[in-house]
Structure 1
Amino acid sequence: MSFFKQVLATITGIIITGIIAFFLFFFMIAIIAQFSSEKTQPAPPNSVLYLSLDYNIIEKSVDNPFEDLDLPFGMAEKSIGLNDLLARIEAAKTDDNIKGIYLNASTANVGFATLKAIRDALVDFKSSKKFIVAYSEGYSQKAYYLASTADKIYLHPQGSLDFRGLGTSIMYLKDALDKFGINMQVVRVGTYKSAVEPFTMNQMSPANREQTMSYLNSIYNMFLDDLAASRKIQKDSLFRYADEFVIRNADDALKYKFIDGKLYKDELIAEIKKRLNIDNKKDIPVVSVLNYGGTPTNNKDKSNEIAVLYAYGDIVDGEGSIEEIGGDKLSRELRKLREDEDVKAIVLRVNSPGGSALASDIIWREVDLTKKVKPIIVSMGDYAASGGYYISVAADSIFAEKSTLTGSIGVFGLIPNAKELLNNKLGIKFEEVKTGKYATMLNSWDKPLTEEEKAIMQQYVNETYQTFIKRVSDGRKIPTSKVDSIGQGRVWTGEQAVALGLVDKIGNIKDAIRAAAAKGKLDSYYVKEYPQSESPFSSIFTTSKDKIRMWMIGEDLGEYYKYLKELQKLTKHTGIQARIPYTVEIY
């Protein structure tokens, strides 16, 4: 008996020691990171602001003390919030130490609304008469869209420039699911509610193709309009160049006036030195936008606060994670801001494809209550669709970018049936014991829904859709019949949504802040962002086994990881969903 006690004590000691060592390890890493990582810093005299997009651009910056260390599981990933990126470009505009921007971008892995916001900030920067020089070994279409704002655009002599028009693709999984013996049972409302199509079809439905082409053309028109204005090239010519794919290399780009010259890196450095009037033997003073500590001038009248509340990610029930909109968490933030007498107006920044219909309604209620107490204005990012639109409709007014994807007024439920996989392929069977006819209706994957159960689920979906329509009708002052006709799950761009009355104005977050100030009759105010940053070390404790596993899978799958991630997202969502059709990636 004493032997087993000793074994148990040894095992317990090992476990406790391991836990202590784990926390000590990360504590030491955190201390090292705290002292080794570069802090935000002022720009040196006669310098350039270096802007590259080879890092993640998220909606709001998150402190990460590990980003300068080579750590696994995505913990050292460099990122910057769009909020800080725009603020630093704005600050550089009036910073006497900064003479210009060096834009070095090959790719830009962001949505078009985010891209447009950055581009507008660069255009505004140029009003200071400071220079922007763009250079790359190869421009993607999105990177070139930003580079087109520059005074001079240069390309490596052997480089490339991608200009073929915009496109998107959707992966369909029905045949693969059939092979596994999984049947996705769907209940939905909306002709265009195509979030479930990849699981139930092998090709795009005519309705989905129609809406996809519609919003793609809307974004493409904006894209070509902006390029035409910046490069002084006719829009019709741009369309033809892309359609015929005539621009492929540096010579083509120069011939068609897409660039101003072909340069090697040493020649580019020499030109920037010439602009700064620096001796060729000296280095160029430079500060990265990641580290630049400049902040734009902000009125410091502490009695008039405009709160900017960020809501980005999937909408989920409960608290959610740092990358999700938890219905309970966001509602609590709204209540606090509503009850804070120093907060005179609120801007709700929404960047979400939607999610839980219930959580969306919980948030909607708080927005509606807030509007009765103080102004609340919505600013839309890349997405504010389905549930993302649901939480927006009660606001006083809504601002969107031209390329924001919004609308998608429709709901669905997705119930997997793995009877073929479990029973026939794996030999796994279940026996039920229940006290009510419907007690196990949604608790097992090994049986199809009965006709009665389908009818019950369809009733849930229909009722949720009618509630959704009413919320839109009440908030936007549109008859329910019209909401239904432009709803049906259809996705619209911000530009289209303005014409339909779903959005009030095209504008960015600064426009929304100005509107909030005007609505609140504030001559002077200051802006504060919410929710307040969590502990920079919180990522240590949220790096779960699942997160580590998915990171490792992502390393192996590379670019195909995004498809697995989308599949995981949709299959884990329970209850009635108000979501945009998949994640739209335009390239």
Structure 2
Amino acid sequence: MKNFFKYMLATIVGIIVVNLIFFFVFLIIVASFSGGKDEVKIESSSILHLKFDYEIPERTSDNPLQNFDFSTLKTTQNLGLNDILKNIKKAKEDSNIKGIYLNMPNLNAGIATIEEIRNALINFRKSRKFIIAYNEFYTQGSYYLATSANKIYLNPQGIVEFKGLHSEIMFFKGMLEKLGIEPEVIRHGKFKSAVESFILDKMSPENREQTLTYVGSIWNFLLQGISEQRHISIDSLNFYADSMLVRNAEACLKLKFVDGLKYYDEIIDELKTASGINVKKDLKIVELGEYKKVRGFHKSGKKEKVAVIYANGQINSGKGDDENIGSDDLASTIREARTDSTIKAVVLRVNSPGGSALASDVIWREVELTKKVKPVIVSMGNVAASGGYYISCPADVIVADHSTITGSIGVFGLLWNGQKFFNEKLGITIDGVQTNANSSIGSVFRKINPNERAVIQEGVEQIYDVFLGHVADGRKMEKANVDSIGQGRVWSGVNAKEIGLIDEFGGLEDAIEIAKKKAKITTDIRIIEMPEKLPFFEQLIKEMKDNASVSAMQKELGPAYRYYKTFKNLTGLSGIQARMTYDVYLY
């Protein structure tokens, strides 16, 4: 009995201690986010440090746990593309900022995102301020971004990765056959490769054709940008990639990929010289997260409002979050912008591979209604395909980056027959009753019959026809013409402009300028970002309740987290889909 009370007391004390620790950690998190919001003063001859060692989201997250380091009990705010672009523009006008130090030890972003940041940096250089890029190692993406700099430096033992692009798709047919799981696919479109991962063990000729087309067009665009900034011919760049001549630091320097080979301390000295600081004094450097707190340089007076609405992630019915589009939430947000008379134009920022066809149609309707009241401009991010294009097509103007993945105008249905898996692998049999002939349609315990397949196929064809009609109306094209470039085919931004699926090349800032002109606004504008973020404490409680495990998994899996997220999204598919079931990553 004595030991019982001793252990019980120890357990109670342990629980109290653990709760106290969590309480103090909670206070530290609250202090780290709620404090430090006073305006930051920038000293003269300062340098803005752009360090990209994280996955760059579309919009800066207010997730209190996402960037909190429990080992140091400190947090770092990783800015989204929206704030990165704003602050580069602000630094261009800031007389206290002499230049930018660009450092990308682990850049994780789509090529379209990189393109938008690169264009902003090239525009920054028009102020005659300098940009110095330095890495120990450059990936193809980070090197493309680095070519926006006046000078590119590399560690003497480093290398620039330069080998051309490749895209890989994982196929699950063999695994499913071994497990005894049969995918039941109903689709329209010879290019609707979304389901090929489940029914084939390699790319179909049609999928290989479309993939090579859009990957090739993106590669050619990257080569053009590198060639213009580094003064190396495109033929030479292709030769270097094919011959693997960019194989060490000395080769990088000899072939003019970099301007010098230096160690970190030498870069610091160069930055001091460039900013006019004595080499014996400390470098005045300001991090991007801190610079966000500096007020912008805007004229006073009344400003008309332009709403920027973010549509990011897979499209589902119901509620959404930072990584998924919920049709209820997004439709409500668009409706709010439409009925607000103080908002003169809407920019819909789409970064989505699509999803539920029904949910996409709900959102499409709100975009269509808003277009009748005020200008609607779509700005496409890394991907705006299938359902992502569905919700974009009514816009007055569609703006995309050269490397945006878009199109994929097609739909499919996907059911699973796990009867063999349960019977032969697990020894489980299923029996039941039903009131009508097709009550159990969609059951994972049996194969669909020909009549059920015909009904679902009819639904797929009907939704595809509606999709074609929406695109034809929005793009002012003949329906047959849309079908000829549809059929589920995926296009790059370059290809999409050639066939009329988009109107102009550009990023978010360009789309905002177009919205301003369409609304005939001649004064400065005020950007209203929607949907509105949750108040700090509500967001903190929500994240601690729902997503703390996700943040931990992201840190543990690193870049591989994307595959887990894709698989998780696929397991939640229901109804007829207008989406890509695989994500496009170019390496």
Aligned pair count reads: 572
- Match of 1:5? none
**Cα distance in 1 between the residues matched to 2:444 and 2:545:** 24
**Cα distance in 1 between the residues matched to 2:340 and 2:299:** 19
Contact 1:225 1:235 in 2 (8 A): yes
Which deviates the most, 289-298 or 345-354?
289-298
Amino acid at match of 2:195: V
Contact 1:162 1:247 in 2 (8 A): yes
Work out whether 1:369 is the aligned partner of 2:357: no
Amino acid at match of 1:185: E
- Match of 2:378? 378
- Match of 1:563? 563
C-alpha displacement at 1:389, in angstroms?
0.5
- Match of 2:471? 472
Contact 1:88 1:295 in 2 (8 A): no
Amino acid at match of 2:424: N
Q: Give the direction of change, closer, same or farther, for the CA distance of 1:38–1:260 in structure 2 (3 Å limit).
A: farther
Deviations, residues 214-264 of structure 1 (Å, cap 9, x unaligned): 000110111000000000111111111111110021101001001111111
- Match of 1:531? 531
- Match of 2:273? 274
**Cα distance in 2 between the residues matched to 1:342 and 1:38:** 28
Contact 2:55 2:107 in 1 (8 A): no
Deviations, residues 365-421 of structure 1 (Å, cap 9, x unaligned): 011111111111111111111101000111111111111111100011111211122
**Cα distance in 2 between the residues matched to 1:177 and 1:22:** 46
- Match of 1:436? 436
**Cα distance in 2 between the residues matched to 1:544 and 1:425:** 39
Q: In percent, how many aligned pairs have the same letter?
A: 46
Contact 2:76 2:289 in 1 (8 A): no
- Match of 1:114? 113
**Cα distance in 2 between the residues matched to 1:560 and 1:68:** 18
> Which ranges of structure 2 fall in alignment gaps of 5 or more residues?
1-11
**Cα distance in 1 between the residues matched to 2:521 and 2:103:** 40
- Match of 2:243? 244
**Cα distance in 2 between the residues matched to 1:541 and 1:184:** 39
Q: Secondary structure at the match of 2:79?
A: strand
Work out whether 1:328 is the aligned partner of 2:328: yes
C-alpha displacement at 1:551, in angstroms?
5.8
Q: Give the direction of change, closer, same or farther, for the CA distance of 1:20–1:330 in structure 2 (3 Å limit).
A: farther
- Match of 1:317? 317
Deviations, residues 463-494 of structure 1 (Å, cap 9, x unaligned): 11011000001111111101001000001111
Q: Give the direction of change, closer, same or farther, for the CA distance of 1:180–1:538 in structure 2 (3 Å limit).
A: farther
**Cα distance in 2 between the residues matched to 1:572 and 1:460:** 20
- Match of 1:92? 91
Q: Secondary structure at the match of 1:142?
A: helix
**Cα distance in 1 between the residues matched to 2:137 and 2:36:** 30
Amino acid at match of 1:220: W
Which deviates the most, 562-571 or 337-346?
562-571
Contact 1:114 1:381 in 2 (8 A): yes
Amino acid at match of 2:238: F
Amino acid at match of 1:465: Y
**Cα distance in 2 between the residues matched to 1:265 and 1:564:** 36
Residues 245-264 of structure 1 mapped to structure 2, 5 A cutoff:
245-264=244-263
**Cα distance in 2 between the residues matched to 1:325 and 1:164:** 36
C-alpha displacement at 1:432, in angstroms?
1.9
Residues 167-186 of structure 1 mapped to structure 2, 5 A cutoff:
167-186=166-185
Amino acid at match of 2:130: F
CA root-mean-square deviation: 2.7
Amino acid at match of 1:512: A
Contact 1:56 1:78 in 2 (8 A): no
Amino acid at match of 1:224: L
Residues 150-549 of structure 1 mapped to structure 2, 5 A cutoff:
150-292=149-291, 293-294=293-294, 296-298=296-298, 302=302, 304-442=304-442, 444-524=443-523, 525-543=525-543
Q: Secondary structure at the match of 1:291?
A: helix
Deviations, residues 534-577 of structure 1 (Å, cap 9, x unaligned): 23344544458885666666666555443333222112111111
Work out whether 1:148 is the aligned partner of 2:147: yes
- Match of 1:579? 579
Contact 1:308 1:348 in 2 (8 A): yes
- Match of 1:8? none
Q: Secondary structure at the match of 1:467?
A: helix
Q: Secondary structure at the match of 1:441?
A: coil
Which deviates the most, 105-114 or 260-269?
105-114
Amino acid at match of 1:264: Y
**Cα distance in 2 between the residues matched to 1:354 and 1:532:** 22
Q: Secondary structure at the match of 2:406?
A: strand
**Cα distance in 1 between the residues matched to 2:111 and 2:520:** 33
**Cα distance in 2 between the residues matched to 1:21 and 1:180:** 48
Q: Give the direction of change, closer, same or farther, for the CA distance of 1:93–1:214 in structure 2 (3 Å limit).
A: same
> Which ranges of structure 1 fall in alignment gaps of 5 or more residues?
1-12
Q: TM-score, normalised by structure 1?
A: 0.92
Contact 1:384 1:404 in 2 (8 A): yes
Moved over 6 A (4+): 16-23, 36-40
- Match of 1:10? none
Contact 1:189 1:462 in 2 (8 A): yes
